Amino acid sequence: MIAKNVRNKKVQLLGAIGTILLLLGGPLWAIAAPEKYELKIPLGLDEEQFVIPEDNPLTKEKIELGRLLFFDKRMSQDNTISCSTCHIPALAFTDGKPVSAGIRGQKGDRSAPTSINRGFSKAQFWDGRASTLEEQSVGPLTNPIEHGFSNNDDVVAKINKIEGYKNLFNKAFGTSTITIQHVGKAIASFQRTLISGNSSFDRFDYDGDTKAISEAAKRGKILFFGKARCNLCHMGTNFSDEKFHNIGIGVGVKPMDVGRFQVSKDSKDTGAFKTPTLREISKTAPYMHDGRFVTLKQVVDHYNQGGVKNPFLDNQLIPLNLTEAEKQDLIEMLRTLNGESWQHAQAPLSFPQ
């Protein structure tokens, strides 16, 4: 009798636990604990600068869910646009166009920056309007030109209609209730795995491999940190100061893209745009926020003349007086910043149904 009572109490306890778990989103045996993802930071990058929010630790489940969402064209109002439409793996996660196009072929007014090494950045987009990668990841979804959803509720409603996604969100977040915050956390988790490091420049600069780069690139490095003054803005291991500068791009164009001013409302930010990373720079043409320069030579020429004069020009820009030979050496150095680690990220063979 005693044994029977104990057994009945165990059954009752298990039944109560099962009821609680079902209310939370599913039975215990249906939800395995998310598996922590150990991110490997390659040579040349500062791990301490990499941003992983406390409320969004990396897990394999979130990263895989984010990868699926990133490449899935159903993440647009008319099923024609995915994040990967403007961030193509073969083009170092850019699209190779001066300005990007969204649903119904509508064109925006800015070039798509690379998704690579976004984990080293806090403020996102050319104007820094998103303060986190999670916020950036969902911003384009409700842009009428880009993914075209009317609001975040429409995004979630569409995902909820796909049973396979509901199961994956449950595994990643432990709940069957999908929110736009979950969407942002998943896509941001995937983007944080897009890392470029261990370039030939890194092997030369950090490992002391004197054969890793050419003699021209070695001269270019001296110019980069000296006469050419590139490191005043392109500093640190990700070659960006994470700040905003007016370098004269777009001056005279009407209507003018006011850049950071649109966010800060500070007049000194008029025409200022965020310093992009130089990692993979030779693969991410065209250049500048409006994609006006097709080649690195054109970019170097722009800086060599001291930018374009305007009332808000950054005071760090001055004529450089580089010779043609020096320009070429500088370009050779920039080409050594192509690295590895991001190439693993490819489109899925199939999507949840």
Tokens at 294, concatenated: 């097709």
What pLDDT sits at residue 13? Answer: 40
CATH architecture of 47-191: Orthogonal Bundle (1.10)
Instruction: Name residues of the chain where pLDDT drops below 70.
Output: 1-31
Predicted model pTM: 0.90
Cβ atoms 274, 126 nearer than 8 A:
yes
Q: What is the pLDDT of residues 67-95, one digit of tens each?
A: 999 999 999 999 999 999 999 999 999 99
Cis amide leading into 286 (omega within 30): yes
SS3 content of the chain, % helix, strand, coil (to 5): 40, 5, 55
Question: One-letter amino acid identity for 197?
Answer: G
Tell me how crowded residue 312 is: count the other CB atoms within 10 A of its CB: 17
**What residues does CATH 1.10.760.10 cover in the chain?**
47-191, 200-335
**At 133, phi and psi to the nearest 5?**
-70, -30
Q: What is the pLDDT of residues 323-349, one digit of tens each?
A: 999 999 999 999 999 999 999 999 999
Calculate Rg over the CA atoms of the chain.
24
What pLDDT sits at residue 181? Answer: 98
CATH code of the domain made up of 200-335: 1.10.760.10
Residues in contact with 162: Cβ distance below 8 Å, sequence separation at least 6, in sequence order: 74, 352, 353
The whole-angstrom separation of Cα 241 and Cα 231 is 9
The whole-angstrom separation of Cα 257 and Cα 280 is 26
**124-132: long-range contacts at Cβ-Cβ below 8 A with a sequence spacing of 24 or more?**
125/274, 126/259, 126/273, 126/274, 126/289, 127/244, 127/259, 127/260, 127/262, 127/263, 127/273, 127/274, 128/244, 128/260, 128/263, 128/274, 129/262, 129/263, 132/53, 132/188
Tokens at 151, concatenated: 């609001």
The whole-angstrom separation of Cα 126 and Cα 288 is 10
What pLDDT sits at residue 233? Answer: 98
Is the sign of the CA dihedral 169, 175, 176, 182 positive or negative? negative
